[in-house]
Structure 1
């Protein structure tokens, strides 16, 4: 019996791999910010454009997936992690500045 993961083609595996890397990539910054409360190097335009950019892109992806009845879960993972991470960094900038 084949599982859903065994049915993935090369490009789907590539998508999963890339999106997992992108999701993990923001975690060290979040952990460092949480531990040190050092937010001096973050500027508001960057944080807000990143936060709202990933949020709006996630809405776009979900809408497209619902219309096409196909789920791009690697993208969902990446954008959900980045939404939480960037909004935390915005919160940290607000609180620790």
Structure 2
């Protein structure tokens, strides 16, 4: 693993961690009024494509970040459909 991959992991931790409080807050409050379903779906598809790209270029930091973020986005879509 080279130095650039360490930078990638730092970015992955920060960007993924920034998304988790929204998931937790939505789960606790069940308030989805501020979430846009079209935005969540577009975000989910975009992250899925980033994950495919990361797999092709074999980037562990991108794979980890996008896999976790994909799960978080899926949860928000599930919450939006369930709690709405």
Deviation (angstroms), 1:91? 0.4
TM-score between both structures, scaled by the size of structure 2: 0.91
- Unpaired stretches in structure 2, ≥5 consecutive residues: none
Q: Deviations over 1:5-45 (max 9, x none)?
A: xx642x22211101111111111011101100010001111
RMSD value over aligned CA atoms? 1.3
Q: Unpaired segments of 5 or more residues in structure 1?
A: 1-6, 66-70
Following TM superposition, the consecutive aligned residue runs of length 4 or more in structure 1 with deviations greater than 6 angstroms are none
Between the aligned partners of 1:61 and 1:12, the Cα distance in structure 2 is: 12
- 1:47 is aligned, of 28, 40, 44, to 40
Aligned length: 84
Assess if the C-alpha contact under 8 Å between 2:12 and 2:65 holds in 1.
yes
Scaled by the length of structure 1, what TM-score is found? 0.80
Distance 1:12 1:73 in 2: 8
2:63 to 55, 76, 79: 76
Cα pair distance change 1:17/1:83, threshold 3 Å = same
